[in-house]
Structure 1
């Protein structure tokens, strides 16, 4: 199976206006990302505040994305939950709706041992024909997929990739040493992007890509074409924006910038709260300075 994408995938924010999904803003954001060379779009992930969305909202966002994108780039649906049954239902909906792949987070709160993870992901993979990206983010779930478990799961023909948000490159190396080249690793951490791809990762599922997708894709293309020094220099230029969107829990900071670009109001759903005005403005200023060519 060919890779779902290489380079920059964006875990999209969900725009709200008066606590309702702003579909016009969402469509405009989709167009902005495609125009700026994004290679894949991930809908209903962590950055999209999926735990606060109703099932109808999750389905509406996904179908809107698929219809708007119209095959121009792959659309990956976040369909993982802590319920295997619910994950299967959402994954089957994504397949019927025309998604190109699904992304499955590890079960959270009710946790699992490694055998349970294999059973959980296998049951979902057996229920659909779409390619599957596993999502390992132990800082949020308090559960990690061990490298040997990744190897076992990679034997399933539908399980083709991992979003590695562990934040430990030693883990990345262990996984890369176990799996073959048909299994793809994407970083889930903006700040380790160049180091991750230098090891053999094929891209990034990004938060900051919501606002600088073109610049990130340029870094990937430079690095993958052998211009690693230039790639690292360009990536260093992006670090002020990357750092700015990490000052609080994702997606609180990045939505300050997406709102400034017109992609919905600066709104989040509880339990997330907007930043104080001075902090919000400081983040927007960092972004505006970057776009104006101010380098620090």
Structure 2
């Protein structure tokens, strides 16, 4: 299964009442895979506000995305939770709807051991036939999937990739030791180029909502051996990479990128509580990134 180098973890558009904007969702799919050159999309990831979407909303998003893609790009469904049984249930439902792969976040809050993490992901992977991508984001889950655990999981046939946010050292160890063909994606936009340099395959991105075309150019420059130009582009894009999370202080995603999209005329609405929309000051800072 080929997902490409640039995958967008897409926001979920909302209307004025903070209900899912279904028409806005299909427009966003077209914008991301067209103008912003995303190779694949993650639906119902962290950036999609998965904690505050209902199961009915999640399944409808998966269904619409699959029908709208019509095979033109891959649809990756975020179905992970901190309950193995529920993760299996949602993963099977997503598989029935025709998604191309699953993104499974590490179980959050209950902080399982490494053996518990292994058993969780193994059980979910064995419950479906489609490819599985691990998602390691310790800053949100409170637990790290150690590199050695990811390497073990890479030997399960349908666990084909990981999105890892634990830093370049961990990415390097996974790239070095994982099963042949296992793909490693950075989950940190600002680490895209460093991750490629240590052998990662690509990026699962937030910033690609607004600078995807530029990120694809940077990736292609590096792959073509034009490292100097890739480094120049990385330096030029770094303020946006950082600014969408620190504007100029930490602001929970996806509020900043939703503001940036709305500013561009891509109407995605606001965020559901307990998240808050950006303040006027934060909005001005984000606006300044694109002048």
Which TM class, normalised by the smaller chain length? over 0.9
Moved over 6 A (4+): none
1:71 matched residue in structure 2: 71
Deviation of 1:265 after TM superposition, in Å, equals 4.9
Matched with 1:284 is: 287
Q: Say whether residues 1:160 and 2:160 are aligned partners.
A: yes
Contact 1:77 1:99 in 2 (8 A): yes
User: What is residue 292 of structure 1 aligned with on the other side?
Assistant: none
Q: What value does the CA root-mean-square deviation take over the aligned residues?
A: 1.2
- Which residue of structure 2 aligns with residue 238 of structure 1? 237
Secondary structure class of the residue paired with 2:51: helix
String of CA shifts for 1:178-222, please: whole Å, max 9, x gaps.
113311000000001100001100100001111111111111111
Q: Distance in 1 between matches of 2:42 and 2:157?
A: 21
Deviation at 1:281, TM superposition (A): 2.9
Matches of 1:260 and 1:26, distance apart in 2: 17
Query: 2:156 aligns to what SS in structure 1?
Result: coil
> How many residue pairs align between the two structures?
285
Query: Is the contact made by 1:164 and 1:185 (CA closer than 8 Å) also made in structure 2?
Result: yes
Report if aligned partners of 2:155, 2:179 keep a CA contact under 8 Å in 1. no
Per-residue CA deviations over 1:195-250 (Å, capped at 9, x if unaligned) read: 00011001000011111111111111111111111111112111222122012111
The normalised TM-score by structure 2 is: 0.95
CA contact (8 A) 1:186 1:202 kept: yes
Shift of 1:26: 1.2
Residue in 2 aligned with 1:8?
6
Q: Does 1:135 align with 2:138?
A: no
- 1:131-189 Cα deviation digits (max 9, x unpaired): 110000011111011111111111110001010111x2111112122113311000000
Rate the CA distance shift 1:147–1:243 in 2: closer, same or farther, 3 A.
Answer: closer
For the residue of structure 2 that corresponds to 1:139, the secondary structure is helix
Distance 1:181 1:120 in 2: 22
1:16 is paired with a residue of what secondary structure?
Answer: coil
Match of 2:60 in 1: 60
Partner of 2:266: 263
Partner of 2:102: 102
* Structure 2 contact 12–268 (Cα < 8 Å) conserved: no
User: Structure 2, unaligned stretches of length 5 or more?
Assistant: none
Matched, 1:181 2:184: no
Q: 1:26 to 1:284 in 2, by over 3 A?
A: farther
